[in-house]
Structure 1
Amino acid sequence: MSEEEILTEFRASNALLDGHFILSSGLRSPRYLQCARVLMDGKRAQRLAEALASTLPHEVRAQIDVVVSPAMGGVIIGHEMGRALGRPAMFLERPDGNFHFRRGFALEPGARVLMVEDVVTTGLSSREAIAAVGEAGGTVVAEAALVDRSGGLADLGVPFFPLIRIDVPTYAEGDLPPELAAIPAVKPGSRAA
């Protein structure tokens, strides 16, 4: 898929939003990608996952035993990536603020994992999820995400393969431009600030 085809998928599902948004990282942004909306159509989710899977080099694909994603945002795309790659998919949850496997999910010792996210902004959730996989006995060999909005700055400690990179400015709460400060902030994500 081309960049324009990917953005068309987001626009067609009203998943590319303009306003004043509080991101999971706590940063503020004038644009938000609501990946849950773009993934609510199963055929669209399948197309995006297949396109994302195709970005992975053969040598990375050959290493993957299992796909893991952090809840909530990564659950759907993680499941679809498991399907696209023909690998099992499971997810991590934060019942106490830290990522853990639950619901009977467990990694085989030494399992090689592809971490899958919807959007990476600072990489904090990804790094926390990668650490949880390590604590559970697995090794993350790479990460894939629908969107990299880090400006290429997210250091995940593993190779990173986004479907699309979108450079949208982010701001600390105290450094908002006047036009953004004039708009009420909303927090559309799944993680508390």
Structure 2
Amino acid sequence: MNTHFAPRLLAAAALFAGSTAHAALPGFEDYAAASDADLDAMRGGFEFNINGMQLTLAFSLEQLTYVNGELVSSMKLTPLQFGPMAPTPASAVASAPPPADTSPPPQIAQSSTSPTTVTTQVLNNQGVLTLVQNGTGNTFTLPQSLAALNTVIQNTVNNQVIRNLTVMNATLSIQQAAAAMRLGAALNQMSAAGLR
């Protein structure tokens, strides 16, 4: 790994995690601190230039819940996309169906029919709550306010294997290298066509 790139990647991870660095990291002493407005525009990733190469670093979060090896809930938070594509606003995509109406959620969620797994998602402007209930007799009272991404898992069945995973995906793309590879592939294709 390039020794100049490692401190920048650590700083990017700190920014993404919401941490605030009070002292400059080694290698960042000459850089000006970004304003809050600049940081708000960059959430989800950012672009930077190293030795004349334009790099794009993009992030996404995915939360998966498995009961006995079967995927019962999946939510993916995909922030802004960069590059030649048109920017897409941040969105949360959930595999479980959202509530049928947009009225305030009921205060009690229950599962008392069969010993199957029921997944419910409550979305509002404060956050997302994923409720996974495995078995019968589960009761949950929704909080007055939600914070970001929440998952509540209730289980009333013995000998169940329950996994809840949060995966952060980071994608680093080098736009100039990708363009050079496309140009090289096109030239190779034309050369091969000319030899026929």
Bigger proportion of residues as helix? 1
TM-score (norm 2): 0.24
Bigger proportion of residues as strand? 2
Tell which has more relative contact order, 1 or 2 (C-alpha 8 A, sep 6+): 1
